[in-house]
């Protein structure tokens, strides 16, 4: 479904992502881990069209996305959430989600019905009328996800939607992600919390200094000496 062909992105002299290749099949739930500065978010920015790679290609459902702007990529069915959440702060939760829905339906009324459904599904029903900037962080992460879902993606990139959540919120988020996946959305998830990602995904990709150093099932990744090395001195949360 998604294929990265040795994608490289540099900033000045710094190589943020160096020759990363990756295949994601329809129905996959892939995790991407790596220490801070490993290039995870940069990789998302390249896939979603925010950065143009210096070399390599991003192919989605047989179509070359390289160089396409983010909004076109979203309309093709691939979108992302942001690690630092970007709610439309002065708008209500419903309006936030509705703006996503309007990408698929032209009528405002239909988009509102759509949005209400998504809001409900993401457990934000009680907050539909609340202004987004007054939500606590846990709910903002949900809103981020809800808004992206409203654009009806077939492939969704989640950038640390579990970071900063308390245990109860975390469990609910894992549950929500599972449901989204079960609903037919292919997922690529960046996460720092190893325990969560081990439980959630079937395949993990490890980035370090912008390069892919390992890929495989969670159990093998946890034992891979290269991965353990890369994480030395970093928070290796396996609680």
Partner 1 sequence: MRRHAGAIVLFGLAAVAPLATRDAYFLDMIVLILMWGAISSAWNVAGGYAGQVSLGHAAFFGLGAYSAAVLTVHWGLSPWIGLVLGMALSIVAGLIIGYLSNRLRGPYFVLATIAFAQVLLITASRWREMTMGSEGIPVPFKQGFWALGLASKVSWLYLTLGFALALYLVQVYLEVSRMGYQLAGVREDEDAAQALGIAGRRLKVIAIAMSAALTSAGGTFWAQYVGFVDPFYVFSIDLSILFALNTIIGGVGTALGPFLGSILITWLEHYLRATLSDIAPGLIGVHLIIYGCLLIVMVRFVPQGLIGALGALFTWRARAAQRERHART
In the complex, minimum distance from the CB of residue 100 to partner 1, in angstroms, rounded to a whole number: 5
- 32/74 with CB nearer partner 1: 74
In the complex, minimum distance from the CB of residue 229 to partner 1, in angstroms, rounded to a whole number: 34
Positions in the binding site for partner 1 (CB under 8 A): 48-50, 69-72, 74-75, 79-82, 86-91, 95, 98-100, 102-103, 106-108, 111, 147-148, 150-151
Q: What is the DSSP string of 55-75?
A: EEEEEETTEE-TT--HHHHHH
- 81/201 with CB nearer partner 1: 81
- 68/208 with CB nearer partner 1: 68
In the complex, minimum distance from the CB of residue 151 to partner 1, in angstroms, rounded to a whole number: 5
Closest CA to 204 of 187, 218, 186, 225: 218
Contact partners, residue 17, CB within 8 Å, separation at least 6: 7, 8, 9, 39, 42, 43, 46, 53, 207, 210
User: CB–CB of 148/188 below 8 Å?
Assistant: no
- 80/141 with CB nearer partner 1: 80
Closest CA to 128 of 102, 109, 147: 147
In the complex, minimum distance from the CB of residue 79 to partner 1, in angstroms, rounded to a whole number: 5
- 93/230 with CB nearer partner 1: 93
Q: Report which secondary-structure segment, H or E, holds 172.
A: helix 167-182
Q: What's 164's DSSP letter?
A: T
In the complex, minimum distance from the CB of residue 86 to partner 1, in angstroms, rounded to a whole number: 4
Closest CA to 80 of 106, 114, 41: 41
In the complex, minimum distance from the CB of residue 238 to partner 1, in angstroms, rounded to a whole number: 31
CA distance 48 to 44: 6
- 156/227 with CB nearer partner 1: 156
Q: Give the sign of the dihedral formed by CA 35, CA 36, CA 39, CA 40.
A: positive
Q: Report which secondary-structure segment, H or E, holds 21.
A: strand 14-24
């Amino acid at each position: 479904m998604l294929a990265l062909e040795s994608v490289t992105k540099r900033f000045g002299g710094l190589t943020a992502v160096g020759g990363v290749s990756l295949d994601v099949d329809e129905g996959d739930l892939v995790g991407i881990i790596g220490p801070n500065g490993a290039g995870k978010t940069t990789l998302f920015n390249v896939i979603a069209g925010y950065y143009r790679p210096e070399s390599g290609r991003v192919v989605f459902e047989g179509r070359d996305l390289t160089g396409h702007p983010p909004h076109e990529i979203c309309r093709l069915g691939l979108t992302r959430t942001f690690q630092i959440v970007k709610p439309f702060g002065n708008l209500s939760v419903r309006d936030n989600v509705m703006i996503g829905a309007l990408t698929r339906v032209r009528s405002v009324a239909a988009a509102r019905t759509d949005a209400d459904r998504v809001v409900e599904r993401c457990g934000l029903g009680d907050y539909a009328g609340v202004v987004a900037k007054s939500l606590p962080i846990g709910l903002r992460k949900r809103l981020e996800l809800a808004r992206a879902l409203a654009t009806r993606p077939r492939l969704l990139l989640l950038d640390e939607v579990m970071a900063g959540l308390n245990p109860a919120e975390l469990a609910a988020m894992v549950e929500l992600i599972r449901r989204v996946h079960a609903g037919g959305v292919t997922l690529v998830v960046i996460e720092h919390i190893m325990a969560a990602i081990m439980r959630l995904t079937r395949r993990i990709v490890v980035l370090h200094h912008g390069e892919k150093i390992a890929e495989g099932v969670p159990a093998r990744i946890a034992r891979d000496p290269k991965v353990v090395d890369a994480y030395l001195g970093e928070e290796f949360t396996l609680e």
